[in-house]
Amino acid sequence: MIGHIKPLINLIGELKRLPGIGPRSAERIAYSILDMDEDAVASIGKALMDAKLNIKRCPVCFSITDEIPCRICKDQLRDKSVICIVENAKDVIALEKAGNYKGFYHVLEGSLSPGRNIGPDNLRIKELLERLDKGEFVEVIIALNPNVEGEATAMYLNRLLKPFSMKVTRIAHGLPIGGELEFADEMTLMYAFEDRKEL
Amino acid sequence: MILKNISLKNFTNYEDAYCDFDENINIFVGDNAQGKSNLLESIYYISTISSSKKNKDRELIKWGRDYFSISAHFFNQHGENKVSVKVVGNKKEVYLNNYKIEKRKEYIGYLITVIFNPEDLYIIKGEPALRRQYIDNELSKTDVEYFVDSIKYKKVLEQRNILLKEYKRKKVSDELMDIWEEQLSKYGIKIINKRLELIDQLKEISKKIHYRITDDAENLQISYQTNIDIENIEDSYRQLMKKNRQKDIERGYTSVGPHRDDLEILINGISAKKFASQGQQRTISLSLKISEIEFIKRKTGEYPILLLDDVLSELDKNRKHKLLEEIENKVQTIITTTDLNDIENFFIDKGKIIIIQDGKVL
């Protein structure tokens, strides 16, 4: 009976800590690990530890990195006049994949949410203000998620940034590229209209 | 809108069922606990992709099975459509004309139903929350923006309430309070404006209908009740929230906004909640439901489908006649009853009788 196999119970328990992994998936993954070669399992274990030990927060922009400061913050060729504020390191990676933005980033490590006990002091806002004070930035681009927490955070930042007399912009909401108009939902269309621009 | 047919698998007490509908009146007949209301619920479910009784999806799966599915064919002004939904555990998949629907808001307005059941009496008799729910239901069925804004409003409200409680324990910066109040008023104002627009139309529609149903005996007046000055809503809302901040901090909840508003219902100038008889209240709820149907027609250009769950037995002969006059040859209607004697012959003559027994459509 499974209840007596301690290491298996342990493994399932640990896997369940991962996001999106429920009891069922944890069990399935655990059994497939049991079926793997020892080498393969060792290499999963090593990859987990390697990632944990070698990936750090960049002390400048708070994105994730394996060098300090990170490659983006180090890059002398990037545009020193723009800084883009995002919630998570994942967002930096997404924007970098898009590739057209050449400025710097600042990761807040979350968004304001009293419900999850996240206030301004839990975000990298103090560090942001210090950077803006010292840097040569002339434009701040706010690229937070379009949910209520992201909107509240954007509004809070907008107020804080007023004294800096910089240009503060936010990225547009709108139609996905390649999407046909008729398949877009009404809300997306409405935002797309509000954010329209001159040709 | 016309519902052509529906098929169910493992939904509540149905294992495998199929039902065709007449485009006028349909009557489900059967003893108690055979599945009439469940079949009606499946129609409501396929129109909103949620339960009318706030049941969790998994609670609708037949006992001992691991999924349920519903699919339906219907006509609306854009032509024939097919919708299907399958619920497996906590996962739900919805397809409209073979395109996957990712979010509920993408499906709003395709198939609209209005359900009328004996508990609707509490729209008049009950707490303000039930009247707000009546308003919210009506707007959410036809207005995607309202649907999305009210979800966002609830989220921001929750955040502000948590912040209020936190404020009491330790100092929270006033700037932070400002931000959440600004967000709250942004969505709150949009919601109140939409509700005012609705009530503006609904008060005329419902007055006319109620006069018709009561043979000009009763003057029905409805109005939106809020302590925000609606002539100057932008400023008034924000000022009132600021003014109440200290009080709200002490109480730990937000005292101003659409979540506290009410619908006042007067009959011949006096409060229907306090002074109308049970029979009068029942008639008012009938008028409000028919008004909802007319409002949807005005807004979308077509009539929704009316679902009458066990209500005909509660109305007298005269009221039943009036109801029939309002819906005849316009609104596809689906009625449940335990006893055909409760339904006047004029309904039966025009209707298709569908017998329900032990989770089967006979």
pLDDT value for B233:
94
- A-facing residues of B in 23-52 (CB < 8 A) are none
B98 touches chain A (CB under 8 A): no
Does residue B171 register a pLDDT over 80?
A: no
pLDDT tens figures, B304-351: 999 999 888 888 888 988 998 899 889 999 999 998 888 878 778 888
Does residue B153 register a pLDDT over 90?
A: yes
Alpha-carbon distance B113 to B153, whole Å? Answer: 25
- What is the DSSP pairing of strand B351-357 with strand B360-361? antiparallel
**Fold of the CATH domain A77-170:** Dna Topoisomerase Vi A Subunit; Chain: A, domain 2 (3.40.1360)
B174 touches chain A (CB under 8 A): no
Tokens 């060098």, residue? A67
Does residue B211 register a pLDDT over 90?
A: yes
List, by residue range, all CATH 3.40.1360.10 domains of chain A.
77-170
CB A66 within 8 Å of CB A56 = yes
Alpha-carbon distance B98 to B87, whole Å? Answer: 16
CB B152 within 8 Å of CB B145 = no
pLDDT value for B167:
86
- Listed in sequence order, the residues at least 6 apart from B118 whose beta carbon sits closer than 8 Å to its beta carbon are B309, B310, B311, B314
List, by residue range, all CATH 1.10.8.420 domains of chain A.
2-54
Class of domain A2-54: mainly alpha
Residues of chain B contacting A120 with CB distance shorter than 8 Å: 173, 176
Q: Minimal Cα–Cα distance from A185 to chain B, Å? A: 6
Residue of B101, B109, B111 lying closest to B81 (CA atoms) = B111
Q: Is the ipTM above a cut-off of 0.85?
A: no
Q: Where are the domains of chain B?
A: 1-112+304-362, 122-300
Candidates B90, B147, B183, partner chain A, best to mutate (most A CBs within 10 A): B183
Does residue B14 register a pLDDT over 70?
A: yes
- Listed in sequence order, the residues at least 6 apart from B76 whose beta carbon sits closer than 8 Å to its beta carbon are B1, B110, B111, B302
Q: Which CATH architecture has domain B1-112+304-362?
A: 3-Layer(aba) Sandwich (3.40)
- A-facing residues of B in 106-125 (CB < 8 A) are 106
Is residue B103 helix, strand or coil?
Answer: coil
Mean pLDDT of A141-158: 94
Q: Is B179 in Cβ contact with A152 (below 8 Å)?
A: yes
Alpha-carbon distance B33 to B22, whole Å? Answer: 24
pLDDT tens figures, A18-38: 998 988 899 999 999 999 999
Q: Is B172 in Cβ contact with A119 (below 8 Å)?
A: yes
Closest partner residue to A115 (CB to CB) among B159, B182, B183 is B159
Q: Is A187 in Cβ contact with B148 (below 8 Å)?
A: yes
Instruction: Give the pLDDT band (50/70/90) at residue B274.
Output: very high
Angle at alpha carbon of residue A61, lines to A56 and A65, rounded to 5°: 30
Does residue A178 register a pLDDT over 80?
A: no
pLDDT value for A2:
59
pLDDT tens figures, B242-266: 999 999 999 999 999 999 999 999 9
| Chain centroid, CA B361 distance in Å | 26
Mean pLDDT of A43-61: 94
Q: Nearest chain A Cα to B143, which residue?
A: A186
CB-based burial label for B362 (10 Å; 0-12, 13-18, 19+): exposed
pLDDT value for B359:
87
Alpha helical stretches, state H, A75-180: 89-98, 125-134, 148-161
pLDDT value for A3:
65
DSSP assignment, residue B100? Answer: E
Instruction: Give the pLDDT band (50/70/90) at residue A1.
Output: low
CB B43 within 8 Å of CB B305 = yes
B200 touches chain A (CB under 8 A): no
Alpha-carbon distance B57 to B68, whole Å? Answer: 9
pLDDT value for A179:
66
- What is the DSSP pairing of strand B2-9 with strand A167-170? unpaired
pLDDT tens figures, B65-121: 999 999 999 999 989 999 999 999 888 999 999 889 988 888 989 999 999 999 999
Could you give the dihedral angle defined by the CA atoms of residues B315, B321, B323 and B325, in that order, rounded to the nearest 10 degrees?
180
Q: Minimal Cα–Cα distance from A187 to chain B, Å? A: 6
Q: Minimal Cα–Cα distance from A143 to chain B, Å? A: 18
Residues counted in chain A: 199
Residues of chain A contacting B182 with CB distance shorter than 8 Å: 155
**Fold of the CATH domain B122-300:** Glutathione S-transferase Yfyf (Class Pi); Chain A, domain 2 (1.20.1050)
Closest partner residue to B155 (CB to CB) among A148, A155, A187 is A148
Mean pLDDT for chain B?
93
Q: Is A152 in Cβ contact with B183 (below 8 Å)?
A: yes
B160 touches chain A (CB under 8 A): yes
pLDDT value for B210:
96
Q: Is B156 in Cβ contact with A152 (below 8 Å)?
A: yes
